[in-house]
Amino acid sequence: MAILDVLNYPDERLRRPSRPVEAIDERLHGLIEDMLETMYSEQGIGLAAPQINHHLRLLVMDTSDSRDQPLALVNPEITEAQGEQEGEEGCLSLPGIYETVARAAQITVCFQDREGFQREEAFSGLPARCIQHEIDHLDGKLFVDYLSKLKRDRLRKKLEKEKRLQATSA
Interface ranges with Zn ion (CB under 5 A): 91
Binding piece for ligand K1U, criterion CB under 6 A, among 24-32, 65-73, 129-137, 154-162: 129-137
Sign of torsion over alpha carbons 61, 20, 6, 30:
positive
CA distance 27 to 21: 11
CB 170, min distance to ligand K1U, A:
26
Partner interacting with residue 74 (select from Zn ion, ligand K1U, none; CB below 5-8 Å by kind) = none
Find out whether 48 and 78 touch, Cβ atoms under 8 Å. no
Beta bridge mates, 107: 81, 123
Identity of the amino acid at 147: L
Among 107, 129, 135, 144, binds ligand K1U (CB under 6 A): 129
Q: Is 88 in the site for ligand K1U (CB under 6 A)?
A: yes
User: Which 18-47 residues touch ligand K1U, going by CB under 6 A?
Assistant: 43-47
CB 48, min distance to Zn ion, A:
7
Beta strand pairing call for 118-124 and 85-89: unpaired
Q: Is 71 in the site for ligand K1U (CB under 6 A)?
A: no
Count of C-beta atoms within a 10 Å radius of residue 129: 25
Is 22 annotated as catalytic? no
Could you give the residue numbers annotated as active site?
A: 134
